A and B are shown apart, each in its own frame.
Chain A
Amino acid sequence: MTKTGLLKIEALENVVQANKGLTAVIKKEISDHLSGKRFLILVLLVVVACLASLYIAATTIRSAGQGSDFVFLKLFTVAGSTLPFSFTAFVSFLGPLLGLMMGFDAINGERDRGTLSHVLSQPIFRDALINGKFIAGVIVLAMVIFGLGFLTGGLGLLVFGVPPTLEEVLRILVYLALSVVYISFWLALSLLFSILFRQTTTSALAGIALWLFFTLFAVFFVGMIANAIYPVTDSSSAQQVLNNARLELWLGRISPNALYDEATVTLLNPSVRALGFVMLDQLYGAIDAPLSFGQSVLLIWPHLVSLIAATLLCFAAAYYAFMRQEIRA
């Protein structure tokens, strides 16, 4: 703890002042998000989706999954026949929208309303504004995601009466943290678009286009590229087939959605022992038992790091673009 009163050096005073500006921006952005109508709408949508998936999971688990291990985790992953979505699928699908919506007009909206030059003429560093907006967004996201996770878990506890084991709790916590990172990626991306594009509609559309591409079309394109490089026919060698599949997997992992989905499955389904291809000789002697929590985390470590890196990369690009941009409207 450093007391501001003790700081005599001018540079440090500057830092303190800049941080004051940063906290002011964070405070204001958080209250903006929480009181905004569109945020309310989207959170309601996500809450309803999660409750629906909880209901489906509850009915499905009762009829089918009795007595199996990790019942509590199934709450989050099991999909029913009437509603083919689980909690995780909903977060994976709607989460990016939440992130995009929170950031798409962050900077160009301020520019439109003429508040950008007003805020930046106050004694704060220019990056305090964009840092503050990002940090506030991540904080709000964390509140929403953890809130939702605990809500679902708590309701599940009421419905089943089966308490989660420590391992299950840990897995869920890591999963929720992973979701926050994943949605933060979309937040950083939309922040970048809000700086690059002057129109809020353009930046919103650009974000949605990218989201649609990654969720719907990426798989299709990846398959096409893989087939073009390693064409597979009935007479192809095993090596060719393997190469094709491997390329498809690795190209697919460019998409943050794919990374997130793989990591989610590994975290919430302890019986997933490996990602990608396992040869028969590798399987030889393997024991068919669920992985421990530590091993699962080890398995998705690269995914987690890549997601964090992608998020930071997006934010760094946004930061750079913003610091160099003309402020005049």
Chain B
Amino acid sequence: MAPSTGKYLVETKNLTKHYGSLVAVSNLNLKVKTGTIFGILGPNGAGKTTTILMLLGLTEPTSGSARIAGYDPLREPLKVKALTGYLPDNVGFYQDMTGLENLYYTADLNGLSREIAKERIYTALERVGLMHAAERKVGEYSRGMRQRLGIADLLVKDPPLIIMDEPTLGIDPEGVKELLQLIKELAHEDKRTILLSSHLLHQVQAICDEVGIFVGGKMIASGTIEQLSSQLQAREKLQLELQVAPQDEALYRLCRSMEGVIEVATEGELIRLTCKKDVRPQLSKAIIEAGYSILHLHLRGFTLDDIYSRYFQKQEGNYDQNRTA
């Protein structure tokens, strides 16, 4: 019965959800370490929201189980919901109530006393910068303000685990920056665990400690971004960008003759080399010895975008099969 204060705050075992013949989530084994930001990445319909709802106990899994700090969301929903703050995409507040009233309602639902509630609410509003709009009706709020009110709402509840569904959706770049900064603070300064889902890779890349890539209801890869990147590099060919003066036929011949180089292509000023391994030391030496000067040499690493699209492409075949199965 006691909460397990293990290494993983969120753990699922073969979590599966079917909607009729559609497999929304299949055999998910997710582990989120306490005190980290975990990003669930994937295209729309990959099962991200379904997973989150199952973690909260708002949707019943078809099979498998989930544990939040050792509690089963189905059997002990109140424990789980007390430990977890949930920020849905397009968070819903009562339009004809003020921001302050909405937060007081949350505090009431959490059974906070009036004094504690007041203190937390004003601190939270201060922190998200909504003090000036506290007395205004939420119906008049912009989307970004509503999202910040959502964060204030989480702060009022003050849970050790925060789950956010597409937190940056539909917010302008400046707002996203502020929001991500807030999320980072929530994790690192307040020592909370954060699980967030997104299909906006760049934004998430900046703040996630670990990511899981979801496609068609399956988590096809997980780990830190570096791990995923090196996993890919081990299997994929490398891309080198090279700019050399003067650029002539002899140079191409030189490049092609290098051991490990598979393909040479030009892209405007740049020469793009596809190679089996990192040939930069040998290549630069050979080029300089041949009397050329190197203007630019760059090994293209794998950004999350690359990782994501690679994994996604790889899985697309299976993904379609799942849908029609």
Query: Are B109 and A119 in contact, with the CB atoms below 8 A?
Result: yes
Looking across the interface, which residue of chain A has its beta carbon closest to that of B111? Answer: A20
| Cβ-based interface call for B77 (8 A) | yes
Checking A20, A115, A120 against B94 with a beta-carbon cut-off of 8 angstroms, the contacting residue is A115
Contacts of A120 in B (CB 8 A): 58
Q: In the docked arrangement, what's the CA distance between A46 and B104, Å?
A: 33
Query: Are A125 and B109 in contact, with the CB atoms below 8 A?
Result: no
| Cβ-based interface call for B277 (8 A) | no
Checking A17, A23, A118, A328 against B78 with a beta-carbon cut-off of 8 angstroms, the contacting residue is A17
Query: Are B58 and A122 in contact, with the CB atoms below 8 A?
Result: no
| Cβ-based interface call for B64 (8 A) | no
Contacts of A115 in B (CB 8 A): 92-94
Chain A 117-141 residues near chain B, CB threshold 8 A: 117-126
Q: In the docked arrangement, what's the CA distance between A118 and B102, Å?
A: 11
Given the known inter-chain contacts A20-B111, A28-B105, A326-B59, please indicate yes or no for A118 contacting B88, CB distance below 8 A: yes
Would you give the shortest CB distance from A7 to chain B, in whole angstroms?
A: 13
Contacts of B95 in A (CB 8 A): 113
Per-residue CB contact flags for chain B residues 91-133 toward chain A (1 = under 8 Å, else 0) read 1111110000000011011110000000000000000000000
Chain B 74-99 residues near chain A, CB threshold 8 A: 77-79, 81-82, 84-86, 88, 90-96
| Cβ-based interface call for A327 (8 A) | yes
Chain B 264-310 residues near chain A, CB threshold 8 A: none
Q: In the docked arrangement, what's the CA distance between A25 and B111, Å?
A: 11
Per-residue CB contact flags for chain B residues 143-181 toward chain A (1 = under 8 Å, else 0) read 000000000010001000000000000000000000000
Q: Is the interface of A mostly helix, strand, loop or mixed?
A: helix
Number of interface residues of B (CB under 8 A): 31
Per-residue CB contact flags for chain A residues 94-133 toward chain B (1 = under 8 Å, else 0) read 0000000000000000100111111111111110000000
Looking across the interface, which residue of chain A has its beta carbon closest to that of B85? Answer: A121
Query: Are A21 and B109 in contact, with the CB atoms below 8 A?
Result: yes
Q: In the docked arrangement, what's the CA distance between A116 and B157, Å?
A: 17
Query: Are A114 and B111 in contact, with the CB atoms below 8 A?
Result: no
Contacts of B219 in A (CB 8 A): none
Query: Are B90 and A27 in contact, with the CB atoms below 8 A?
Result: no
Query: Are B88 and A18 in contact, with the CB atoms below 8 A?
Result: no
Looking across the interface, which residue of chain A has its beta carbon closest to that of B1? Answer: A10
| Cβ-based interface call for A24 (8 A) | yes
Chain B 26-76 residues near chain A, CB threshold 8 A: 49-50, 53, 56, 58-59
Given the known inter-chain contacts A17-B78, A17-B111, please indicate yes or no for A121 contacting B56, CB distance below 8 A: yes
Q: In the docked arrangement, what's the CA distance between A117 and B91, Å?
A: 9
Q: In the docked arrangement, what's the CA distance between A125 and B76, Å?
A: 10
Looking across the interface, which residue of chain B has its beta carbon closest to that of A119? Answer: B109
Query: Are A328 and B49 in contact, with the CB atoms below 8 A?
Result: yes
| Cβ-based interface call for A14 (8 A) | yes
Query: Are A114 and B90 in contact, with the CB atoms below 8 A?
Result: yes
Per-residue CB contact flags for chain A residues 1-42 toward chain B (1 = under 8 Å, else 0) read 000000000100010011011011101100010011000000
Checking B49, B94, B110 against A122 with a beta-carbon cut-off of 8 angstroms, the contacting residue is B110
Q: In the docked arrangement, what's the CA distance between A72 and B86, Å?
A: 57
Looking across the interface, which residue of chain B has its beta carbon closest to that of A112? Answer: B92
Contacts of A14 in B (CB 8 A): 78
Q: Which of A27, A116, A122 has the most CB of B within 10 A?
A: A122
Q: In the docked arrangement, what's the CA distance between A14 and B106, Å?
A: 18
Would you give the shortest CB distance from B46 to chain A, in whole angstroms?
A: 15
Q: In the docked arrangement, what's the CA distance between A118 and B103, Å?
A: 12
Looking across the interface, which residue of chain B has its beta carbon closest to that of A126? Answer: B77
Number of interface residues of A (CB under 8 A): 32
Query: Are A121 and B86 in contact, with the CB atoms below 8 A?
Result: yes
Looking across the interface, which residue of chain B has its beta carbon closest to that of A18? Answer: B78
Looking across the interface, which residue of chain B has its beta carbon closest to that of A327? Answer: B58
Looking across the interface, which residue of chain B has its beta carbon closest to that of A13? Answer: B78
Query: Are A24 and B105 in contact, with the CB atoms below 8 A?
Result: yes
Q: In the docked arrangement, what's the CA distance between A113 and B88, Å?
A: 12
Q: In the docked arrangement, what's the CA distance between A21 and B106, Å?
A: 10
Query: Are B109 and A123 in contact, with the CB atoms below 8 A?
Result: yes
Query: Are B111 and A123 in contact, with the CB atoms below 8 A?
Result: yes
Chain A 311-328 residues near chain B, CB threshold 8 A: 326-328
Query: Are B108 and A28 in contact, with the CB atoms below 8 A?
Result: yes
Q: In the docked arrangement, what's the CA distance between A134 and B92, Å?
A: 21
Query: Are A117 and B59 in contact, with the CB atoms below 8 A?
Result: no
Would you give the shortest CB distance from B118 to chain A, in whole angstroms?
A: 15
Q: In the docked arrangement, what's the CA distance between A305 and B107, Å?
A: 39
Q: Which of B59, B95, B106, B111 has the most CB of A within 10 A?
A: B111
Checking B59, B78, B93 against A123 with a beta-carbon cut-off of 8 angstroms, the contacting residue is B78
Contacts of A113 in B (CB 8 A): 92-95
Q: In the docked arrangement, what's the CA distance between A86 and B215, Å?
A: 66
Contacts of A27 in B (CB 8 A): 108
Q: Which of B84, B91, B109 has the most CB of A within 10 A?
A: B109
Query: Are B58 and A328 in contact, with the CB atoms below 8 A?
Result: yes
Query: Are A122 and B106 in contact, with the CB atoms below 8 A?
Result: yes
Q: In the docked arrangement, what's the CA distance between A117 and B109, Å?
A: 13
Would you give the shortest CB distance from A118 to chain B, in whole angstroms?
A: 5
Query: Are B58 and A21 in contact, with the CB atoms below 8 A?
Result: no
Contacts of A23 in B (CB 8 A): 108
Query: Are B82 and A327 in contact, with the CB atoms below 8 A?
Result: no
Q: A20-B108, A118-B153, A121-B81 are in contact. List 4 more A-B contacts (CB 8 A).
A: A20-B111, A114-B88, A123-B109, A124-B78
30 residue pairs from A and B, CB less than 8 Å apart: A10-B1, A17-B78, A17-B82, A21-B111, A23-B108, A24-B105, A25-B109, A114-B91, A115-B92, A117-B86, A117-B88, A117-B92, A118-B86, A118-B93, A118-B153, A121-B58, A121-B81, A122-B106, A122-B109, A122-B110, A123-B78, A123-B82, A123-B110, A123-B111, A125-B77, A125-B78, A327-B53, A327-B58, A328-B49, A328-B58
- B residues with a Cβ closer than 8 A to A are 1, 49-50, 53, 56, 58-59, 77-79, 81-82, 84-86, 88, 90-96, 105-106, 108-111, 153, 157
Top 6 nearest A-B pairs (CB, nearest first) are A114-B92, A24-B108, A115-B92, A121-B86, A20-B111, A122-B109
